[in-house]
Amino acid sequence: MNKPLGVITRGTTNPNRLRRVDRFIAALPVLRQEKQPIVVDLGFGASPITAVELLARLEKVNPQTHVVGVEIDRERVERGLAIATESLHFTHGGFEVPIPPELPNQVTVIRAFNVLRQYDEDQVLPAWQKMQSRLTVEGKLIEGTCDEIGRISSWITLDRVRPLTFTISMRLAELDSPSKVAERLPKALIHHNVPGEKIHQFLVDLDRAWQSNAGLGTFSAAQRWLAACNQLKSAGWPITLDRKRVRLGELSVEYSAVDPTN
Ligand SMILES: C[S@@+](CC[C@H](N)C(=O)[O-])C[C@H]1O[C@@H](n2cnc3c(N)ncnc32)[C@H](O)[C@@H]1O
């Protein structure tokens, strides 16, 4: 067998820290469209808890879902195998995304969270490409990061060909400035949060929109966020305005609008 692609990194994880991205994945149309979705938790970490939670959330949407936890550290895989079930699988591997032989080989969703954060930026593109090549036609790769307890999170959604959107999801209560997400940007963006770069301008404009709608905060933080998102959209940022998602503290913008490479 070939050596897994990637390196073992710190295994820090926490129960429930990935709830925001899990909610986003649960709402992806592909999860309902595919008969038996195969969803990979790539780099699940020192405990398999986030894989367990991912399955629990996705089974509510499609009971035929299978989750496969993939880890490059063999000992962590063993911890997963100890709690495996018919629909929760664990295997040793890396960005090549191996799937146990009893399952269809192509993957509906890959969630790679807090994994590339510990790599160098120039390793992002080859890792993306490897993972993208494992997706079904409508499949999605969700690659991002979050803080220790999952109150601040951001991720990039890619299909087999290109990055599609950049999403921020934050706890809105007591939020001073949304640019706090700067500490938790995906590796492809985090080093570009400097004046003159698109991601920097996006966060500056987002902060300004949040501040200028401060008055609405007396009604609810969600209303304030919605108004800020509307303002950004009116200013020309290509934002997806799905009210239901916005109310959750989420905001998605076309990746091309923040892409540092073009
Ligand atoms: C910080 S933990 C993240 C745990 C969990 N995903 C979370 O967000 O809470 C990162 C894990 O990714 C694993 N990892 C790093 N590179 C990997 C790769 N190429 N393939 C699979 N796992 C990888 C590490 O061994 C580590 O356990």
Question: What is the domain extent for residue 98?
Answer: 19-160
3-state secondary structure 123-157: HHHHHHHHHHCCEEEEEEEEEEEECCCCCEEEEEE
Q: State in Å: Cα 242 to ligand 1 middle.
A: 31
Same domain? For 82 and 45 the reply is: yes
Q: Same domain for 32 and 83?
A: yes
Burial (0-12, 13-18, 19+ Cβ within 10 Å), 251 = buried
Residue 238 lies in a domain: yes
Q: What is the pLDDT of residue 218?
A: 86
Residue 202 lies in a domain: yes
Ligand 1 atom with the smallest distance to the CA of 5 is 19
Query: Does residue 136 have its Cβ closer than 6 Å to ligand 1?
Result: no
- Among 128, 160, 192, the domain boundary falls at 160
Q: How far apart are CA 236 and CA 230, in angstroms?
A: 10
Cα separation, 96 vs 85, in Å, equals 23
Are 86 and 212 members of one domain? no
Domain count of the chain? 2
Does 3 fall in a domain?
no
Shared-domain flag, residues 41 and 133: yes
Q: Kindly state whether residues 119 and 232 are assigned to the same domain.
A: no
Ligand 1: atom nearest CA of 146 is 8
What digits encode the pLDDT tens for the residues 189-206? 999 999 999 999 999 999
Could you read off the pLDDT tens digit of each residue along the chain, which spans 262 residues?
Answer: 689 999 999 999 999 999 999 999 999 999 999 999 999 999 999 999 999 999 999 999 999 999 999 999 999 999 999 999 999 999 999 999 999 999 999 999 999 999 999 999 999 999 999 999 999 999 999 999 999 999 999 999 999 999 999 999 999 998 999 999 999 999 999 999 999 999 999 999 999 999 999 999 888 999 999 999 999 999 999 999 888 899 899 999 999 999 999 8
Atom of ligand 1 minimally distant from the CA of 112: 6
Is residue 75 a part of any domain in this protein?
A: yes
pLDDT confidence of residue 1: 63
Residue 13 maps to a domain: no
Q: Residue 68 maps to which CATH number?
A: 3.40.50.150
Q: Distance between CA 95 and CA 98 in Å, rounded?
A: 8
